[in-house]
Amino acid sequence: MRELTRLREQVAVWQSISHSLNDTLELAELGDEALYDELAAEVERLAAEVAQLEFQTLMSGQYDDENAILAIHAGAGGTEAQDWAQMLQRMFIRWAEQHRMKVEVLDESAGDEAGIKSCMLSISGNYAYGWLRSERGVHRLVRISPYDSSSRRHTSFAKVEVWPDVAEEIEIEIDEKDLRIDRFRASGAGGQHVQKNETAVRITHIPTGLVVSCQNQRSLTQNTQVAMNILKSQLFDLASRTQNAEIAALKGEDVDAAWGSQIRSYVLQPYKMVKDHRTGHEVGNTQAVLDGRLDDFMEAYLRHQVGEGQPAAVDAGLELED
């Protein structure tokens, strides 16, 4: 029913534009100069709608219209990297809110002094994965450290992972013998029940080494179910990307690098600039970007993929903490 509703909404948009075009053509054929301003305004409106629909064709991947799960991991660098990870978390939440998408924090590990070591977000909305898949990779920050008493310039890294939330739509059999399930008390903010009972869960898929944890639900059963759904989505995404990489290698094309590639730099000192290394797109208003204005970067990435194939990887030299 959800798929049927989505398809009906897409068809309705095209039908509405088709009717509007026919009505506009009929008015134009009347040749009445008094209708010129009205026709000009209608043509401008239709052109904008068609341009938006044209852009949506860039999100024609099999799962682009699905919800997304986004994870952020601080790189090596201690407090600096953990603060940067939290800045990225805020940036993506702001972006989602601007697009009226629902955001839920599934898991979060606080930093030692500030920021976060890692977090996992569920982002639900139209084409959430189609937009956010452009953000997979390593994000680099250059700034004067607020945690350095000598006010020196620091470079920090954080890894962003994104995969479609398709656990309910795929069939993946997971052998219980391949799982190690650890239970622990939830950390951070929460009610009395959450803090005093082992409601949090960490699931390790031994064959692949994938680790998923969830602690923000009210019960152990709920956290386990959410963690298993995330694990299914991760395994599906891993299999899909492995298959795509093998096909690309057979074709002799560049294979999109995994998390060890630097996709974007955010420079706050000695000048202000955010630059995407895959597309060359850059802006000088760094604060707007950190406040969630990411659409231009995402659109540039999607158009770059269509026009020039997969973007080449740029080595970032990232070393991640456990």
Q: Is residue 63 part of a domain?
A: no
Q: Could you tell me if 189 and 43 lie in one domain?
A: no
Q: What's the pLDDT band for 50 if we cut at 50, 70, 90?
A: confident
Handedness of CA 87, 150, 320, 278 (dihedral sign): positive
Average pLDDT, integer, range 269-293? 95
Residue 315 lies in a domain: no
The verdict on residue 171 lying in a domain is no
User: What CATH number does residue 127 fall under?
Assistant: 3.30.70.1660
3-state helix, strand, coil in the chain (%, to 5): 45, 25, 30
Domain of residue 199, CATH code: 3.30.160.20
pTM tops 0.85: no
Query: Could you tell me if 7 and 44 lie in one domain?
Result: yes
> Tens digits of per-residue pLDDT, 20-35?
888 888 888 888 878 7
Verify that 105 and 133 share a domain, yes or no.
Answer: yes
Q: Is residue 245 part of a domain?
A: yes
Q: 152 lies in a domain?
A: yes
What is residue 255's DSSP assignment?
Answer: P
| Per-residue pLDDT tens over the stretch 194-222 | 455 667 888 899 888 888 888 877 788 88
Same domain assignment for residues 203 and 76 = no
Q: In the chain, how many domains are there?
A: 3
Q: What is the pLDDT of residue 86?
A: 96
Q: For 197, what's the count of Cα atoms within 13 Å in the CB-facing half-sphere?
A: 12
Task: Note whether 246 and 259 are same-domain residues.
Answer: no
Q: 155 with 74, same domain?
A: yes
- Amino acid 112: pLDDT: 85
Pair (180, 154) in one structural domain = no
Asked if residues 273 and 284 have their Cβ atoms less than 8 Å apart, the reply is: yes
**Per-residue pLDDT tens for 107-164?**
898 888 889 999 999 999 988 999 999 999 999 999 998 888 787 888 999 999 998 8
The residue from 250, 271, 299 where one domain ends is 250
Instruction: Judge if 245 and 263 occupy the same domain.
Output: no
Q: In what order do the strands lie in the sheet with 282-283?
A: 102-110, 116-124, 68-74, 153-164, 137-144, 262-267, 273-276, 282-283
267 and 216 share one domain: no
Indicate whether 271 belongs to any domain: yes
Domain finish residue from 250, 269, 291: 250
Domain extent for 131: 68-165+254-308
